[in-house]
Every structure is written in C-alpha cells, then in structure tokens.
C-alpha cells in the first residue's frame, strides 16, 4: 500500500525521548536507499487517519531526510501486543548489545503488562500446570502469578521466542535491575545511557551499592567507564567511587559538616574492621581443618573488599589536613 511519508508515525510504544537514534545508522541507510532504492521492510498499522510503524524507525528518519514523499509498505491490522513484539524482535536482532535499547524494550513490556486493561494478555502468556483442568483453577493460578509481579519469564514470553533464550533472559534481568535502581533514585537514566555493555553496567551497579555512591559520583565514574570494552573489575570501580565520595566530603561541604560526616565514616569503618577481625579470630583455630571451597572464596572476597579501605586509611592524614583537623583532635587515630 502506498503511504505518504508525512503520514507515517513512530511506534506508540517507543519512547522517542529516551530511545537512541544512531546517526551513523541513519546515514548508512540513506546511502543504501540511494544506491538500491527502498525495500518495503517497514510494517505499519492504520490508526486515526495516519500510519504507525511497528519497526524500522531509522529507515523512516532516512526517508524523511532524503525528502522521499511516498513509499509502498505493508499495512496490517496489528494489535498493541504485536506492535511491541515486532519492535522487540528488531531490537533483539540489531540492538541486543545496547543496554539503553534493551532497557526501553523491557520497560515498555512491564508498563503494558502492569496495565489492568491488558490482563487478558497475561492470562494468555502465563503457562498453566497440566494438572489444572477447570477454568476456575486456571484463573486462580494466573491470579497468583500476577500478584507475584511481572518478572523476566513473563516478559520473555510476552516479547517473543528470542527473549525467552538464556541470553534474552539475562538481558531482561539486567534491564529490570537497572529500572529498579533508577526508580529508587540510585542513579539517573540519562547518566547511564553512555553504558552500552550489560557487563560493564552490572559492575558499576554492584560497585555503587557497595560504596553507597551518590548519583553524581556514579555519573562521574561512568564518564571513565563508558567504553563497553572496559574490563575494570567491580572492586576497582568501587575503590574509585569511594575516593570520589571522600573527596566530595572534603572539598564541597562546609568545614563543620566535613568534620561530622568524616568522623561518621571513620567510626563506621573502624566498627566494621573490628567486627571482621573478631570473626577471623573465631575462625583462625579451625583454618587448617576447613576444606570448603566456598568458604575460602568468600574469605578472599572479603579481603579484596578491604583493599579500598586500606587505601583510604593511608590517605587519612591528607584528608585531615584538608579540613584543618589533626588525628589527635578526635581522640587519636583508633
């Protein structure tokens, strides 16, 4: 069906304000269209006098910039669920390494499935145990599943087969964790958009929780680790966050507030280290008899966690000098 370009609208489930448009991809498509013409690989549905495309948004931008007036495309009677599934399928094929796109796809699915008006879709995608025979039994089972919330399995079934794969499930799980953190105010969505790699973002999330990092500190660290090839480990990122956190106390706060908050941090650090020491003393007599690998792995991780604290202890004189407090003024260094 021939449709005017000006009557083509984006997928209503694609949040254009946060969904990235990759300039290089648009430019590449423009060259392709100029060389070989436009292939009818944009699917659309008619809606209120215009046509909403299910996928192919970069192709639409390319056509608009080339001042193409009309295209011949398939127009079908897509449901809302189908519009999301088609978009999600393209996103998995082309954008599975871009966490911004994955996050937007998952957020769209969560919002749709949490809408009471779409309860019927949930009933269709929730798999019933084979021993449930009556409709009433199935309905009670589905209601229990709904009360447990929309998780990665339901989202995978909703978005399609590729999202049900192990890779798809891992992407959904990471996206859900990021969405929860954003909703809690742990960091801002626009600040994490430079992070494309799921692994890098996962490391930053873990480090931020360990270091109790503020959104501004996370933003500063992301500037250094936005490269998806960066292989920095969680404890290294955590150490950087702790450094920035202490620097913010020293540099940005009034002198009296610096004293109070720095003393609080030192007190907390000292308490945790004494607790750790006591626990090690309890275990020490049995060290040679313990053969559980999990125990040694845990102990190794705890020792690694102490490294950034030790680095900060070495810098304490520097911090005290910066806020005009000497270690002895607060009852010694212990």
pLDDT in tens, 12-60: 998 877 776 778 888 988 998 888 877 667 889 999 889 999 988 888 8
Element spanning 52, H or E: strand 50-53
Whole-angstrom CA distances from 300 to 28, 211, 293, 311 are 49, 18, 11, 18
Domain ranges of the chain: 2-78, 83-244, 253-330
* Structural class in CATH, domain 2-78: alpha beta
User: pLDDT tens digit string along 244-260?
Assistant: 877 766 555 555 555 66
> Tokens at residue 334, please?
């212990």
pLDDT for position 171: 92
Nearest alpha carbon to residue 204 among 175, 233, 170: 233
Element spanning 145, H or E: helix 135-147
Whole-angstrom CA distances from 209 to 34, 40, 162, 235, 269 are 50, 47, 31, 11, 16
Q: How confident is the model over 189-204, as a mean pLDDT?
A: 85
pTM of the shown model: 0.68
User: pLDDT tens digit string along 288-326?
Assistant: 666 666 667 777 777 776 777 677 666 655 555 554 444
């Amino acid at each position: 069906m021939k449709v005017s370009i000006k009557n083509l609208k984006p997928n209503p489930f694609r949040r254009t304000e946060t969904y990235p448009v990759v300039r290089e991809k648009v430019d590449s498509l423009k060259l392709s269209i100029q060389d070989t013409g436009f292939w009818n690989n944009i699917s659309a549905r008619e809606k209120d006098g215009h046509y909403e495309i299910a996928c192919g948004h970069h192709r639409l931008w390319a056509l608009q910039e080339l001042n193409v007036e009309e295209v011949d495309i398939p127009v079908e009677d897509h449901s809302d669920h189908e519009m999301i599934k088609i978009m999600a399928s393209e996103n998995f094929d082309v954008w599975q390494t871009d966490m911004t796109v994955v996050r937007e796809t998952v957020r769209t699915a969560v919002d749709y499935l949490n809408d009471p008006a779409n309860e019927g879709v949930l009933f269709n995608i929730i798999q019933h145990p084979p021993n449930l025979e009556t409709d009433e039994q199935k309905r009670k089972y589905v209601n229990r599943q709904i009360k447990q919330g929309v998780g990665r399995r339901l989202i995978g079934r909703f978005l399609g087969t590729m999202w049900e794969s192990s890779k798809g499930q891992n992407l959904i799980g990471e996206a859900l964790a990021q969405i929860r953190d954003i909703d809690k105010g742990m960091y801002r969505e626009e600040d994490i958009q430079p992070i494309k790699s799921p692994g890098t973002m996962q490391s930053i999330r873990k480090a931020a929780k360990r270091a109790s990092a503020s959104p501004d500190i996370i933003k500063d660290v992301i500037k250094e680790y936005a490269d998806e090839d960066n292989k920095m480990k969680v404890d290294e990122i955590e150490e950087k966050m702790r450094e920035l956190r202490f620097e913010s106390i020293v540099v940005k706060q009034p002198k009296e507030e610096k004293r109070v908050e720095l003393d609080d941090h030192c007190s907390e650090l000292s308490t945790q280290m004494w607790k750790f020491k006591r626990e090690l003393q309890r275990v020490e007599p049995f060290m040679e008899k313990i053969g559980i690998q999990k125990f040694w792995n845990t102990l190794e991780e705890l020792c690694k966690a102490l490294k950034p604290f030790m680095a900060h202890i070495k810098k304490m004189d520097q911090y005290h000098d910066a806020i005009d407090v000497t270690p002895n003024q607060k009852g010694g260094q212990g």
